[in-house]
Chains A and B, each alone.
Chain A
């Protein structure tokens, strides 16, 4: 049982070590990375089935009993996150291998990519607040390296902003953990969820908001999102894709985990503060996207906007709201990643992602246009695609609790999303190709197209399997709101 929890972390670390040792042989590195990530995906699927059948699963690292030892624990939300994350990481790896020039830099790409995976898995599986900090640091340290991999002038400049902002947040996270430890004397999440109940209400609210701010930086919540649209577009496409799809979502996962499991009593009903922040995040993100003229930058601002929806679901603190947020997170992981992969294909084929300089791609490659259109419509929430269900669920949940303003903001942001997706579509895909390139078919590497197609198929699958997936999300939300099973499984009482 324990092995299922340890392997998603242990395997990538071991793989990173091996990849580092054979850094001169790229085929060996590729084989190791692919093998490890396939194995992690397999483990994640088995874990999901196990958790789905019999509730949360916990294990103690080193056999030291909770709350003293470090706990690994999977409930439905973390198991679902693990499955979606591992599938995404694996597909992007295949894409990166297909793109020439991504994994060459001194043989560093593969080991660091695997460490990133280990960090993501640990962040999702950990049941210990300090270990959570370590996981976030492992993930971010790997991301620092990946985002500045080319060491070009632009990357160093924007990478610096990224690193400094995230380091400040990490330091604050450490302080926040110290304060929680001072207040309760434990860092085990399950133990905290019991003991924080005895902490005075004002102090509890202060700690809850401190964590909201600190993790909000990682999740790019307004007003702490400014680093994201600046840093993400400069990295190589596969790196941006995995960051866009995963890192901020792990941030959202942590916000949801901490605010529900630990600070549930601090939020007896919908939190107006969190909802207001969510509404502003949605609108500011999408308005920023409309102002941009480069595909990668448009998509980067959309990340922020979509984060707003997830926070909206959390802010309602109702079953329907959190279920919608969970579904939204899962859907976004595949949709956002596949959009960035398509954007990478456009840049690969034409040498630029600027809407002013690309046009008529649909004529030159109908397949590419289709690969863009499906996730783009899903992002905008057009039925029957996967993005429609969680948006509908969230807006309904908002209306059910009479939070009209934020639900309306959600609808408006959805409309504007559709508008900016149309902007990319008309700018880059419709119209006539530039005269120089007219009639010429686009040359696209098969592996990259294949990997993108797999992920686009996954976004379709989310739409087709919306019912069972929503049921799972609802069960996950129920577990989050009433974590008795989680606590019993970890503490054994």
Chain B
């Protein structure tokens, strides 16, 4: 496994994680794009070195075709889910004219309770 793949996966995942933790939905969607690319690179690295064309003449130094199939499947799934996330973000914008995740009502109530207690 090459160091370049590992480093690239690390950069993608850290960037993706940073974006996912934002409150803006569009950034969350972009973050998931990066995260899933990072995961795909990990899968690619799991397949070992690049090699000859698989399954044609077989045997020696063949590249692992299975990880490619797994990555393709993961990409397809990510494609569908990203579309759904975008639709959700769009709907949220339609409803609130804002791109941010709203506070949980329960959380707000508890926060209010805490400040009231603190004041007393």
Contact = CB atoms under 8 A, between A and B. Distances in A.
A175 interface: yes
- The 7 tightest CB contacts between A and B, nearest first, are A182-B46, A178-B43, A178-B46, A174-B39, A178-B42, A181-B46, A157-B102
Nearest to B36: A171
A160 interface: yes
B84 A134 contact: no
A144 interface: yes
A174 B77 CA distance: 12
Contacts of B32: 167, 171
A148 B81 contact: no
Interface in A102-146: 130, 133-134, 137, 141, 144-145
B30 interface: no
Contacts, number: 85
A153 B96 contact: yes
A133 B76 CA distance: 13
Query: Majority SS of interface residues in chain A?
Result: helix
Interface string B38-61: 111011011110000000000000
Interface of B: 1, 20, 25, 28, 32, 35-36, 38-40, 42-43, 45-48, 66-67, 70, 73-74, 77, 80-81, 84-85, 88, 91-92, 95-96, 101-102, 104, 106
B39 to A, nearest CB: 4
A153 B88 CA distance: 11
Contacts of A168: 20, 35
Given A134-B77, A153-B96, A178-B43, 8 more contacts: A137-B77, A157-B101, A160-B25, A160-B92, A179-B42, A181-B66, A187-B66, A230-B104
Contact of B88 (A134, A160, A179, A230): A160
A163 B101 CA distance: 12
Contacts of A163: 81, 84-85, 88
B36 A156 contact: no
B81 A178 contact: no
A340 B41 CA distance: 42
B101 A141 contact: no
Given A134-B77, A164-B20, A181-B43, A156 B92 contact: yes
Interface in A153-212: 153, 156-161, 163-164, 167-168, 171-172, 174-175, 177-179, 181-182, 187
Given A156-B95, A171-B36, A178 B88 contact: no
A175 B42 contact: yes
Contacts of B47: 181
A175 B17 CA distance: 14
A151 interface: yes
B73 A141 contact: no
A238 B50 CA distance: 49
B42 A164 contact: no
Q: Which of A153, A167, A172, A230 has the most CB of B within 10 A?
A: A167
B46 A171 contact: no
Contacts of A187: 66, 70
Contacts of A174: 36, 39-40, 42-43, 74
Nearest to A182: B46
Contact of B73 (A130, A144, A159): A130
A150 to B, nearest CB: 11
A156 B73 contact: no
Contact of A141 (B42, B84, B88, B104): B84
B39 A159 contact: no
A134 B78 CA distance: 11
15 contacts: A137-B77, A148-B88, A148-B91, A151-B91, A153-B95, A157-B92, A161-B104, A163-B84, A171-B32, A171-B39, A172-B39, A174-B40, A178-B45, A181-B70, A182-B48
A178 B96 contact: no
Contacts of A161: 101, 104
A156 B88 contact: yes
Given A151-B91, A167-B32, A175-B39, A144 B84 contact: yes
A134 B43 CA distance: 15
A171 B101 CA distance: 21
A148 to B, nearest CB: 6
A142 to B, nearest CB: 11
A153 B48 CA distance: 47
A261 B95 CA distance: 47
B73 A134 contact: yes
Contacts of B80: 141
A151 B43 CA distance: 35
Contacts of B73: 130, 134
A141 B67 CA distance: 23
B104 to A, nearest CB: 6
Given A130-B73, A174-B39, A159 B88 contact: yes
A210 to B, nearest CB: 12
A164 B81 CA distance: 10
A123 to B, nearest CB: 14
A179 B101 CA distance: 33
Nearest to A183: B46
Contacts of B25: 160
Contacts of A175: 39, 42
A151 B95 CA distance: 9
Contact of B84 (A133, A145, A177, A178): A145
Nearest to B39: A174
A133 B70 CA distance: 10
Contacts of B66: 181, 187
Contacts of B95: 153, 156
A141 B43 contact: no
A404 B48 CA distance: 47
